[in-house]
Amino acid sequence: MRIRRKKWAKAELDSAPFYIDHPEAFKGRWHEKFSKNQPIHIELGCGKGSFIASLASMHPEINYIAIDMIEAMLGLSKRNIEKAYQFKVPHNLYLIRCNIEQIYNVIDQTDFIERIYINFCNPWPKKKHNKKRLTHPKQLALYRNFLQENGEIYFKTDSDILFEDSLSYFTEMNFEIVAKTYDLHKDTIFESNIETEHEKMFSAEGIHIKALIAVKK
């Protein structure tokens, strides 16, 4: 998603105690960074942050890391997180700036990540761009390095092509698809479904939301 630059974003992010601009320093030490030793879940490409803000504020028993690389998006995420936490500093959520293609610089196997959320990532429909997909085997290989055994990936998309290709990607990379649906709002497969901004928009247009849960084997 393209978004205009937000002049205020950098200053607000720099002042936020839950934002980390250079997260490489915490690679392998994320459990130490959080105030409580709890399972860690991450969202890749958090966008404006409404999903992770709602999820993390509803589940204080889980620690969360929300990742994006666009400063303007991170600025909007920061504001949405503050609203969800009623402007109190979250103890279980960090917002970090990172290129997901280089996530190996930020998280490793000693961080024991239990779950990854990938919501409405760019489908990159042209074949020459497929490797940029967040569910491409190249990326799944990176996630396998830090996702613990039996760790999960929750994936949602509006794209039929991306969904079908991703089913093959997960199988190729030795993930077991334990649940899937071609219409999430009719056949929910999650314990609860928090709608993202994209999800609401696509649903309003009559587009069915595709989703799956894949487990590392």
Residue 117 falls inside a structural domain: yes
How much is the pTM? 0.96
* 173 is a domain residue: yes
Residue 22 is part of which domain span? 9-216
Q: Is residue 4 part of a domain?
A: no
Contact (CB, 8 A) for 179 and 216 = no
pLDDT for the residue 6: 86
Q: How many CB atoms lie within 10 A of CB 174?
A: 11
Please tell me the distance from the alpha carbon of residue 112 to that of residue 48, in angstroms, as a whole number: 26
Q: Does residue 3 sit within a domain? A: no
Give the model's pLDDT for residue 4. Answer: 82
Residue 1, domain member (yes or no): no
The CATH number of residue 126's host domain is 3.40.50.150
Average pLDDT per 10 consecutive residues for the chain, totaling 217 residues: 82 97 96 97 97 98 97 97 98 98 97 98 96 98 97 98 98 98 96 93 96 97
Predicted pLDDT of residue 1: 54
Asked if the structure places residue 23 within a domain, the reply is yes
Which is nearest to 160 in space by CA: 135, 123, 188, 133? 123
Number of structural domains (the chain) is: 1
Residue 75 lies inside a defined structural domain of this protein = yes
Please name which of 154, 137, 11, 159 lies closest in space to residue 72, comparing C-alpha atoms.
11
Q: What pLDDT is stored for residue 36 in this prediction?
A: 96
| Separation CA 187–CA 97 (nearest Å) | 34
Within a domain: residue 138?
A: yes
